[in-house]
């Protein structure tokens, strides 16, 4: 077994945050056996994180072998992560995607997004919510980040 990415101290901190989880969350990981430098580490990271709470469910896919799932969830980059809600055994897709490894600063984004999806509350202001409801077409937001 390979070495853990998360140490006891970090796991303890995440456990405290995850104590507030409400509804189950479904995480979908998409890897690629070819030409994917960060797939193994990302997969291990989401495996370790989702193991911390019973409310977090993880399914592992390969972008080529599971091309239909990748298409269904519009994942075209690896490592790719989908963070979705899970209610009554159904997956509720809120459109949240990660392309690349969520390390460094982005590790806290990952933890934060898991909590946000579980609690079903974006934290956005009422004004923002009112506006977003008026959108008649999907809007793509791509937030470019670096791990440091």
Partner 1 sequence: MVEAMEFQELSNRHRVSGVPQTSINDGAGTVVGAVPESQLLAEIARVAGAAKA
Distance CA 48, CA 25 (A): 15
Stretch in the footprint of partner 1 (CB under 8 A) among 2-10, 23-31, 85-93, 95-103:
95-103
Q: Which is nearer to partner 1, 9 or 125 (CB)?
A: 125
Residue 37 near partner 1 by CB under 8 A:
yes
Element (H, E) at 49: helix 39-50
Residue 35 near partner 1 by CB under 8 A:
no
Q: Which of 99, 115, 113, 81 is nearest to 147 (CA)?
A: 99
Q: Which is nearer to partner 1, 19 or 133 (CB)?
A: 133
**Binder of partner 1 out of 70, 101, 111, 114 (CB under 8 A):** 101
Residue 140 near partner 1 by CB under 8 A:
yes
Q: Which of 15, 11, 20, 14 is nearest to 118 (CA)?
A: 20
Stretch in the footprint of partner 1 (CB under 8 A) among 15-23, 51-59, 63-71, 124-132:
124-132
Residue 126 near partner 1 by CB under 8 A:
no
Stretch in the footprint of partner 1 (CB under 8 A) among 13-21, 48-56, 84-92, 119-127:
119-127
**Binder of partner 1 out of 77, 91, 93, 115 (CB under 8 A):** 77
Own/partner long-range contacts of 73-80 (Cβ < 8 Å, ≥24 apart): 73/28, 73/30, 73/97, 75/28, 75/30, 78/30, 78/31, 78/32, 78/36, 78/39, 79/29, 79/30, 79/31, 79/32, 79/36, 79/38, 79/39, 79/42, 79/43, 80/29, 80/30
What is the contact surface with partner 1 in residues (CB under 8 A)?
37-38, 77, 97-102, 106, 109, 124-125, 127-128, 131, 134-137, 139-147
């Amino acid at each position: 077994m390979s070495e853990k990415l998360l140490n006891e101290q970090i796991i303890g901190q995440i456990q405290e945050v995850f104590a507030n989880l409400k509804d189950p969350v479904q995480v979908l990981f998409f890897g690629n056996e070819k030409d994917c430098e960060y797939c193994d580490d990302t997969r291990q990271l989401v495996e370790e994180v989702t193991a911390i709470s019973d409310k977090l469910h993880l399914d592992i896919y390969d972008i080529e072998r599971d091309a239909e799932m990748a298409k269904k969830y519009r994942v075209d980059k690896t490592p790719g992560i989908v963070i979705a809600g899970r209610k009554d055994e159904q997956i509720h897709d809120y459109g949240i995607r990660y392309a690349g490894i969520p390390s460094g600063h982005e590790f806290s984004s990952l933890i934060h997004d898991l909590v946000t999806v579980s609690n079903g509350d974006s934290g956005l202001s009422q004004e923002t919510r009112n506006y977003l409801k008026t959108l008649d077409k999907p809007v793509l937001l791509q937030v470019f980040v670096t791990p440091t």
